[in-house]
Amino acid sequence: MPKLAVNGAILHYESHGEGVPIVFIHPPTLTGKGFTYQVRDLSPFFRVITFDIRGHGHSSASMLPITYSLIADDIIAILDQLEVEKTYICGYSMGGTAALEYMLRYPERTFGGILLGGMSEVLDWRLRQQIKLGANIAATGTKGRDLLARAVSWTNSDTKELFQEQMSEAKRGNPKNIEQYYRYGLTYNCSSRLREIEHPVLLLYGEKDYRFMSYAQVLHRELPNNELKFVSNVKHHLPTKASIEMNDLIKQFIYTHHRPVEETPTEFFAPYQELMDLPNDPGVFPRV
């Protein structure tokens, strides 16, 4: 179980596979365990790097408050440890906002981004209340943390086994750091800076994730170089409840942007023609 001492904290991280690296960022309460299916399906093609944010899972509690810039700095420390110069950065939900901060803060260490149900700021009242609720529950201490661990792990699992594994990991978290992660998301806003991100970005959303459609529209309109895709018959929980489709779209994205067309194996794309025909930019949210 690899560990790394970084600025007063001990970070747990894992690296699987070889090739083009992808770092995955989890949202509050959850851990790197939430990317189990990405490790399984993508590590035969790429170097898949997961980690537990400070105060989550097997990483130690942080004396520094959890912010997106701190998360980005910790990722750089992990990449330096692994001797990785550049990476694709993939964030899920609030982890997607941290991925945006990473791309803004370290463009020279970035190949591109992948946002899974991501957002550049919290705009709507309902989502703000949901995030505040998570922060307030975490603020009650270990009982609140355990309640969050059960609830969030349940909604982000597709099997009983994965639920038990995720909940066990989430219950290791530090309640104060979990609360900080939630609360920071309420104040962060990088919408006015999105045009600074010149790297290619893949935006993935569940077709039934209606409350995040406005966030998809903002990112699609403001990011200079992005692709917007919707995954059929799923809401928000893409990494576990739509892993096959999501992982295939990630493979397509990286092969398209990172490798010359003549080097891309044609047999790779053949099984996924239906996925390639999912709604894309022109017919979904036209640019204005």
Is the pLDDT at 50 greater than 80? The verdict is: yes
- Residue type (1 letter), 89: I
Q: Is the pLDDT of residue 23 over 60?
A: yes
pLDDT the model gives residue 259: 63
Taking only the tens place, the pLDDT of each residue in 180-211 is 999 999 999 999 999 999 999 999 999 999 99
Mean pLDDT of 235-258: 94
The average confidence (pLDDT) of the chain is 91
The answer to whether the beta carbons of residues 197 and 113 sit under 8 Å apart is yes
Rounded Cα–Cα distance for residues 277 and 106 (Å): 33
Q: Is the pLDDT of residue 56 over 90?
A: yes
DSSP 60: P
pLDDT of residue 51: 98
Does 269 have pLDDT greater than 50? no
pLDDT band at 272 (very low <50, low <70, confident <90, very high): very low
pLDDT above 90 covers what percent of the chain?
Answer: 86
d(CA 129, CA 106): 31
Whether residue 117 is predicted with pLDDT greater than 90 in this model: the reply is yes
* 1-10, 71-80, 125-134, range with the lowest pLDDT: 1-10
User: Residue 217 and residue 205: Cα distance in Å, rounded?
Assistant: 11
pLDDT, position 257: 87
Cβ neighbours of 108 (radius 10 Å) = 6
For residue 286, pLDDT over 60 is answered with no
Q: What is the pLDDT at residue 258?
A: 77
pLDDT in tens, 124-170: 999 999 999 999 999 999 999 999 999 999 999 999 999 999 999 99
Spatial CA neighbour of 97 closest among 181, 30, 178, 14 = 181
pTM passes above 0.75: yes
- CA gap 258, 281 in Å, rounded: 20
Domains in the chain with CATH codes? 3-121+190-284 (3.40.50.1820)
Which residue in the block uniquely carries the two structure tokens 């290619």? 200
